[in-house]
Amino acid sequence: MAETDAYDPAIALERAWREHWGRLLGLLVGRFRDVDLAEDALADAFEAAARVWATGGVPDNPPAWLLTAARRRGLDRIRAAETARRALPLLVVDRLREVETGRTDTQDVAEEVVDVVDAAVTDDELRLLFLACHPALAPESQAALALRLVLGLPTAEIARLFLVAEPTMAARITRAKKKVATAGIPFAIPPQECFDSRVEVVVQAVYLCFTAGYAPGQGEAVLRADLAGEAIRLGRLLRDLLVRRSPPRAPNEPAQTLSEPAQAVTALLALMLLQHSRRDARVAPDGSLVLLADQDRDAWHAGEIAAGLDLLTGLAPSAGRVEELRLQAVIAARHATAPRADATDWAAIARDYAALERLTGSPVVRLNRAVAVAQAEGPRAGLDLLTGLDELLPRSHRLPAVRGELLARAWRACGGTRAARGRPRPVRQRRRAGAPARATVHPRPARLLSRATSARSVGPDRPSLGTQAPAQRDVHVAGARDTLP
């Protein structure tokens, strides 16, 4: 940011909101033990800053100014509603936080303004993420509440990102906040014995948020780049906070010295960056999905690809969720680094998918593996891997599309003889509305695939917010959705 911009009230206020909202709100929640009060007080402070800074200039320390103003407005609200507040439940604030700061609620506020706001990153943001993504809350509420509390997005913007009406999103966030209060969900770092599992809940919320942007399950858009970008913001913040809590390592020391939760978030962030880097090339001017082989690779964001590859450096094979995310990121990296579509190392991608299938047992992974194997070894090898998937993916529109395309390729490889190897004669079949699609050879399989891959329905291979079954963890790598022509 240019030096002159620091004195522009609008730019300074925007920067304070983007860089300090979550940290300031965390401090206020820890002080007042009430999410609504803290959020309202901080919003009042930003509103006051918009008026005061425009006439009096930008203060030397904008976040400290905002924190002081927010605390004053919070105290004013407490004094005005003291009687009513006695009947409301308060958030549990862990004793560790008081020990770390060396302060209690009765001590002078000004000390914390100087000591904490000037710090690089505080654990209060991590506490806020754990609060928003508590397992007691519904998964769709976790992502929305994290965007609201940690990133400070207004309710109307969150509603737009998730393609729901603003009153619906407002009610969802309100219910989540009431649950936080009435259930006594603590504003605290989880104890060590459950820390890793709680980080996994946060990781899943960020993952689902990215899924809703990368492969929307609702609406007409094939991509919601703005929502995917906000998920990456959350991922960056979570990784920064977890890396800060990991033991220090030497500059050339591998990333495995990071804690396991930090490694999982590192792999997830790499995956999201590599996939998000293709956003400008994935959608045609008419709004349709552009398949990977047809994408303009010059439109890919090289900086994001480099950042994703850098995060992958040092993440050697491991186990569990870390390895699951790492393998997905490795597959995305193989696509991202191929200079041309015909230079893609499909054999290596097929091996990666095989390892991922052994790890997860997911039928979605098997479907993507079949595509990679078909690219590397031929359509018949891919078809063999589709055996048994009809029962596991009964609602998937991509399974019949992939099968149709691979059958067509196998037919062409036999010289186009319809009788070759007993293949049935392609026929057009009428079916009544609502009847399941039949897995028969279609006379125009490429058109079928195009229609199937651009459909908007939510299926087992495209989880919507709220579906967290392990078998439904979508693999956000180029596979059945955007690989086959």
Coil vs helix vs strand at 224: coil
Sort residue 429 into left (φ over 0), alpha (ψ -120 to 50) or beta. Answer: beta
Task: Note the pLDDT of residue 105.
Answer: 45
Mean pLDDT for 440-446 is 38
Task: Note the pLDDT of residue 331.
Answer: 96
Convert the pLDDT of each residue in 60-74 to its tens digit: 888 889 888 888 888
Task: Note the pLDDT of residue 454.
Answer: 38
Mean pLDDT for 162-180 is 87
Task: Note the pLDDT of residue 210.
Answer: 87
Task: Note the pLDDT of residue 355.
Answer: 95
Task: Note the pLDDT of residue 460.
Answer: 29
Task: Note the pLDDT of residue 122.
Answer: 53
Q: Report the interhelical angle of 192-214 vs 139-149 (nearest 10°).
A: 90
Which residues, 6 or more positions from 108, have their beta carbon under 8 angstroms from its beta carbon?
none
Q: Where are the domains of the chain?
A: 3-182, 345-424+437-485
Decide if 329 contacts 273 (C-beta within 8 A). no
The residue among 91 and 463 whose pLDDT is bigger is: 91
Which residues, 6 or more positions from 194, have their beta carbon under 8 angstroms from its beta carbon?
none
* The pTM of the whole model exceeds 0.85: no
Convert the pLDDT of each residue in 230-285 to its tens digit: 889 888 988 987 887 766 655 555 555 788 888 999 999 999 999 999 999 998 88
Decide if 334 contacts 352 (C-beta within 8 A). yes
Task: Note the pLDDT of residue 220.
Answer: 66
Rounded to 5 degrees, φ, ψ at 418 are -65, -30
